[in-house]
Amino acid sequence: MASSLLSTGLGPLALRSPIIAASGTVGSVWEWAQVADMAPFGAAVAKSVAPEPWPGREPPRLAPLATGMLNGIGIQNPGLDRWVSEIAPRIPTLGVPVWGSAVAVDVAGFARVAEGLSGTGVAAIEVNLSCPNLDDDVMFSFDPMLSRAVVEAVTAATTLPIGAKLSPNTPNPVEVARVCVDAGAAFLVLTNTALGYGVDSQTRRPLLSGGVGGYSGPGLKPLSLRVVHEVATELPEAVIVGCGGVATGSDVVEYLLAGASAVEVGTTLLAEPGAGSRIMRELRHQLRRLGAETVTELVGAVKPW
Ligand SMILES: Cc1cc2nc3c(=O)[nH]c(=O)nc-3n(C[C@H](O)[C@H](O)[C@H](O)COP(=O)(O)O)c2cc1C
């Protein structure tokens, strides 16, 4: 799979492919690797892990929609210690670079997870800034000061490359992206799910036990692309991983043109765990169609009207 046509880079990270499996949609990567070909992927991101185990929310926590889905899993995870002892030892056998994903309810918790993930074999760590900060119930990525504090603490706790993952609802994404880059993030992941809410007309209840959840899938693409576009335009030095609604090779090209150096695929892999081979085939076709000799020449190459 290694090929200069498809290889890309994210600061210090070299990737054999611009397609990455998104956190929370491929389990701890190991389960998914039993049923899917890893060759199309440049990396796979494990489910976010917190300093302590989180039980997640009560069911129902997933709701398929006409386009995409809502989830309110509540970031169920086994906690750092079990992750390190049970999940990390499998990483070398998976055939794909695995990234960790850190989540916590306070700055110190993020740093603890980053430190604990270092040395486990993960190639990078995403910092999930798109979860609520329980101290004041605001998402970390809504607040530039909090985002800076988390990224600074995490980069002080590990030498691994750090990716800051923002919410598409972030009111000032360029400002938050800037402080994350200044604080040492090697790349930005744009974006996580959008806030969403659904109602079951039969039961008159919300679709999710927690009410508001995260919307993902095809309808998210224009929202995430907007964030990629604005950050790439205003902050040309930022290294961007696009994420939101990627289902086809054409979607990958759209994110590259808007300014992403790689893309993550989430909801598509839940419905079609083997989608990587298809998306890669489509991407090769798109590259031929565009006369592109490398993926990287398309990054940010959108034309003005
Ligand atoms: C069921 C589910 C669980 C998720 N869990 C996480 C998570 O633990 N950490 C995280 O950073 N993102 C999580 N996400 C967000 C995805 O990684 C991705 O950012 C989002 O779904 C948008 O991409 P998509 O439209 O391709 O699915 C989850 C998404 C879904 C659908």
Shortest-distance atom of ligand 1 to CA 77? 8
Look up the CATH superfamily of 8-58+77-196+217-298. Aldolase class I (3.20.20.70)
The chain-wide mean pLDDT, for the chain, equals 96
Rounded to an integer, what distance in angstroms lies between the CA atom of residue 110 and that of residue 157?
9
Cα of 22 vs centre of ligand 1, distance in Å, is 6
Name the active-site residue from 29, 103, 114, 131: 131
Q: Is the pLDDT of residue 245 over 80?
A: yes
Residue 265 sits at the vertex; the CA angle it makes with 38 and 20, to the nearest 5 degrees, is 45
Q: Is the pLDDT of residue 76 over 90?
A: yes
Rounded to an integer, what distance in angstroms lies between the CA atom of residue 243 and that of residue 45?
12
189-216 confidence digits (pLDDT tens):
999 999 999 999 999 999 999 999 999 9
The pLDDT of residue 17 is: 98
Q: Is 131 a catalytic residue?
A: yes
6-23 confidence digits (pLDDT tens):
999 999 999 999 999 999
**Banded pLDDT at 134 (limits 50, 70, 90):** low
**Banded pLDDT at 1 (limits 50, 70, 90):** very low
Q: Is the pLDDT of residue 136 over 80?
A: no
pTM for this entry: 0.98
The whole-number average pLDDT for the span 37-46 is 98
Q: Which of 110, 187, 192, 224 to mutate to test the pocket of ligand 1 (most atoms within 8 A of CB)?
A: 192
Domain map (residue ranges) of the chain? 8-58+77-196+217-298
The whole-number average pLDDT for the span 34-60 is 97
Shortest-distance atom of ligand 1 to CA 217? 25
The pLDDT of residue 60 is: 96
